[in-house]
Amino acid sequence: MTEPSPNETWQILEALSALTRELTRASGGPDDGPPMTSTQRLALFEVAVRGPVRLSELADRMGITAPTASRAVDALVDHGLLERRPDPDDRRAVRIDLTRPGRKQVEERRARAAAALEPIVSALSAKDRTQLAALLTRLTDSLG
């Protein structure tokens, strides 16, 4: 395999950034629902994907410090989107989980993003859709 040129890497990064911006806009944008920072929005979706997590796990997944994650979680708890529950494995610890309103907000946002993306994905051949999904998964797994 040959190394990508810096230009190719930047082109891929810009394409992914543009796609993310367009999906954010199509799925309601940052001002839909209670006001949230990008860190809070990321925390909400990480908890939605990973299920109940400890604060330290959440911070690690997000690549931020525990105090920063704690502030994001505090705000989301105040908005009624997340809650702290006792950890069944360690009574001294808590796990962070979605509330019903939090789950509803995540599901609605995902549905709007999927609705915006579906016509574009439908225009791709089945082979291209499979290849695109596989490549995106490889990129994500490599970064994670």
Which residue ranges form the domains of the chain, and what is each CATH number? Answer: 1-32+100-144 (no CATH), 33-98 (1.10.10.10)
Least Cα distance to 44 among 19, 16, 18, 69 occurs for: 69
- Phi/psi at 109 (5° precision): -65, -45
| pLDDT tens profile 18-60 | 988 888 777 775 556 788 888 999 999 999 999 899 999 999 9
pLDDT at 99: 97
Residues 16 and 75: their CA atoms lie apart, in Å, by: 28
Q: Is the per-residue pLDDT at 81 higher than 70?
A: yes
pLDDT tens readout for residues 3-23: 878 788 899 999 999 988 888
Q: Give yes or no for a contact between 53 and 77, defined as CB atoms under 8 angstroms apart.
A: no
**Within 10 A of 13 (CB to CB), how many other CB atoms are there?**
10
CA 33 vs CA 2, 29, 38, 131: distances in Å: 45, 9, 13, 34
Q: Cα 111 from chain centroid? A: 14
Give the contacts of 7 (CB within 8 A, at least 6 positions apart). Answer: none
Structure tokens at 69: 């994650």
How many angstroms separate the CA atoms of 48 and 143, rounded? 20
pLDDT at 86 over 60: yes
Tell me the whole-structure pTM to 2 decimals. 0.80
Whether residue 52 contacts residue 66, with contact meaning beta carbons closer than 8 Å, is answered with: no
